[in-house]
């Protein structure tokens, strides 16, 4: 084993954001025979076409696919509209990219509309977003006016002729004023945590929200007492996306080779952006504690350092905590590294998510889907996914994390059982097809088509 392969310094050199493939080939020769620089484009690739319904059959089974079709049958010919604030980037757009074609194929013709607005509008909605998470802001009359006038412009522009209108998040929430005189069912899909909203902003938005027929939340803990029915839709992953689809073993090996990861030794991985709330330094401490007893490499892979000043500071702290430890491999990846992240998760012996605070934690869902024994903090939506000692292991401290790394590395049969259960849990509850099923159910319930 070339001990230099695990050098943190040289892995940092291999950061894809700084190099093109051409540069890689030219500069890599003679420096590291065994480890090429990772082949990640410096430009985001075009998104692959959305999968067809039939492509999910090998994953969920014929009968479950039939269930989806039967569920959709009374809705065939009806139309739905999804409205959000961005077509690219972010979890909502990613989800809509897959959900819209699925509903379409199931017979519910679904349009996706994106609201437009100036910088002033998006500054206001960004402040709203933070305020709904509890930030202390003062809601000025000017902010209200900007929000309402941009909403009105979008209301004039967008036609609402469908039977189901789904408005995602607070930015377009005011479009509910378009429902007057329409028989459509309106649903507000809230993807954020509304449990402790800033009262000023919430009191401004609440009458709009309560004019919908129903609201949808990602967790009961994120919901707020409202006078309308509140459905629970867990976030989901697409098993056919680049981040989750099956990969050739040779590709997984190639990615590990490129990043200098030794697959003959245990690999413990945390995938998350460089953010203190993900506790990357705590992860390093836990791995160092565990390595007094067991051999393993730690891979910390994520992004956020290139375009976020705080991310860069955290990345620096992570490098300092790692020191010159050759078994800590730190990878700052660009946002379009889905295939590489998929490969890293698949190569891992154990996946960690030792967050201090978390939304739902889709990186946990991804790890469970890949059948990986997962150790995660009991915060946010993680306990919904990680049922302690059934689908993974929950921890509350660095020490607890260190112990569980030791335990799972020395009890692989237990880890394998957790992995099997974790995958089943995701298959049953957190896949894109389950999400489509929930939308069909909600549409049927809202229109009284329940038999």
Specify the residue, 297 or 391, whose C-beta has the smaller distance to another protein: 391
Q: In whole angstroms, what separates CA 399 from the centre of its chain?
A: 27
DSSP character at residue 155: H
**How far is 40 from 21, CA to CA, in rounded Å?**
7
Distance from C-alpha of 190 to C-alpha of 271, rounded to nearest angstrom: 25
112 sits near another protein (criterion: CB under 8 A): no
Neighbouring residues of 219: CB distance < 8 A, sequence distance ≥ 6:
193, 232, 234, 360, 380, 381, 384
**Quick one: tokens of 167?**
């408005």
How far apart, in Å, do the first and last CA atoms of the chain sit? 64
Q: Which stretch binds another protein (CB under 8 A): 184-192, 224-232, 257-265, 348-356?
A: 224-232
Residue with Cβ nearer another protein (18 or 221): 221
Binding flags for another protein, 421-450, as an x/- string (CB under 8 A): x--xx--xx-------xx-xxx-xx----x
Name residue, tokens 């998510």: 353
- Residue placing its CB nearer to another protein in the complex, 223 or 314: 223
**Interface residue with another protein, options 62, 119, 141, 250 (CB under 8 A):** 62
Count residues contacting another protein (CB under 8 A)? 39
Q: How far is the CB of 374 from another protein (least distance, A)?
A: 15
Q: 305 vs 440, which CB is nearer to another protein?
A: 440
Rank residues 97 and 421 by Cβ distance to another protein and give the closer one.
421
For residue 235, the minimal CB distance to another protein (Å) is: 14
One residue of 11, 71, 333, 367 binding another protein per CB under 8 A: 71
Nearest approach in angstroms of CB 434 to another protein is 10
Alpha carbon distances (Å) from 407 to 85, 369, 393: 45, 21, 11
Residue 426 C-beta-side C-alpha neighbours within 13 Å? 30
Of 23-31, 55-63, 104-112, 298-306, the segment contacting another protein by CB under 8 A is 55-63
232 sits near another protein (criterion: CB under 8 A): yes
**In the complex, minimum distance from the CB of residue 389 to another protein, in angstroms, rounded to a whole number:** 7
Between residues 121 and 443, which has the closer beta carbon with respect to another protein? 443
Question: Of the two residues 11 and 442, which places its CB atom closer to another protein in the complex?
Answer: 442
- Tokens 């430890």 sit on residue: 325
- Residue 86 binds another protein (CB under 8 A): no
Spell out the alpha helix ranges (H) of 183-279: 199-209, 249-259
Q: Which is nearer to another protein, 37 or 191 (CB)?
A: 191
Stretch that binds another protein, among 39-47, 64-72, 78-86, 168-176 (CB under 8 A): 64-72
Please give the structure tokens belonging to residue 87.
């077509």
Contact 265, 295 (CB under 8 A): yes
CB of 432 to another protein, least distance (A): 16
225 near another protein (CB under 8 A): yes
Q: Residue 185 half-sphere exposure, CB side, CA atoms within 13 Å?
A: 21
Closest CA to 333 of 17, 70, 109, 3: 17
The phi-psi region of residue 170 (left if phi > 0; otherwise alpha if psi is between -120 and 50; otherwise beta) is alpha
**Exposure of 263 by Cβ count < 10 A (0-12 exposed, 13-18 middle, 19+ buried)?**
middle
Q: Residues interacting with another protein, by CB under 8 A?
A: 61-64, 66-67, 70-71, 217, 220-221, 223, 225, 229-232, 378, 383, 387-391, 420-421, 424-425, 428-429, 437-438, 440-442, 444-445, 450-451
């Amino acid at each position: 084993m070339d001990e230099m392969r695990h050098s943190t310094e040289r892995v940092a050199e291999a950061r894809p954001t700084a190099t093109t493939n051409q540069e890689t080939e030219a500069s890599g020769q003679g420096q590291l025979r065994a480890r090429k620089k990772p082949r990640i484009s410096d430009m985001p690739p075009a998104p692959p076409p959305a999968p067809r319904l039939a492509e999910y059959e090998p994953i969920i089974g014929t009968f479950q696919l039939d269930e989806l079709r039967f569920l959709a049958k009374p809705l065939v010919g009806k139309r739905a509209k999804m409205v959000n604030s961005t077509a690219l980037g972010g979890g909502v757009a990613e989800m809509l990219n897959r959900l819209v074609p699925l509903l379409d194929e199931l017979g519910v013709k679904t349009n996706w509309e994106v609201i437009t607005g100036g910088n002033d509008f998006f500054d206001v909605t960004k402040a709203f977003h933070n305020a709904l998470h509890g930030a202390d802001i003062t809601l000025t009359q000017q902010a209200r006016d900007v929000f309402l006038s941009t909403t009105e412009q979008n209301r004039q522009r967008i036609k609402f002729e469908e039977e189901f209108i789904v408005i995602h998040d607070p930015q377009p929430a005011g479009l509910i004023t378009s429902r007057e005189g329409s028989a459509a069912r309106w649903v507000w899909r809230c993807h954020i945590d509304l449990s402790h909203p800033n009262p000023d902003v919430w009191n401004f938005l609440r009458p709009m929200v309560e004019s919908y027929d129903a609201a949808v939340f990602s967790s009961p803990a994120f919901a707020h007492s409202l006078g309308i029915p509140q459905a629970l839709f867990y976030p989901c992953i697409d098993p056919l996306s680049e981040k989750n689809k099956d990969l050739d073993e040779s590709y997984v090996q190639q990615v590990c080779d490129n990043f200098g990861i030794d697959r003959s030794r245990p690999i413990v991985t945390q995938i998350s952006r460089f953010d203190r709330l993900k506790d990357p330094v705590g992860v390093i401490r836990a791995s160092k504690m565990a390595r007094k007893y067991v051999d393993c490499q730690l891979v910390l892979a994520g992004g956020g350092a290139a375009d976020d000043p705080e991310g860069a500071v955290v990345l620096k702290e992570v490098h300092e905590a790692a020191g010159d430890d050759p078994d800590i491999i730190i990878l700052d990846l660009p946002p379009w590294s889905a295939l590489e992240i998929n490969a890293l998760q698949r190569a891992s012996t154990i996946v960690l998510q030792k967050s201090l605070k978390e939304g739902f934690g889709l990186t946990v869902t991804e790890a469970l889907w890949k059948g990986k024994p997962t150790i995660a903090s009991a915060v946010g939506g993680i306990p919904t996914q990680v049922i302690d000692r059934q689908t993974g292991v929950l921890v509350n401290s660095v020490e607890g994390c260190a112990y569980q790394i030791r335990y799972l590395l020395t009890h692989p049969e237990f880890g394998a059982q957790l992995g099997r259960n974790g995958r089943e849990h995701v298959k049953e509850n957190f896949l894109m097809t389950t999400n489509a099923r929930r939308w069909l159910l909600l549409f049927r319930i809202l229109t009284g088509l329940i038999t």
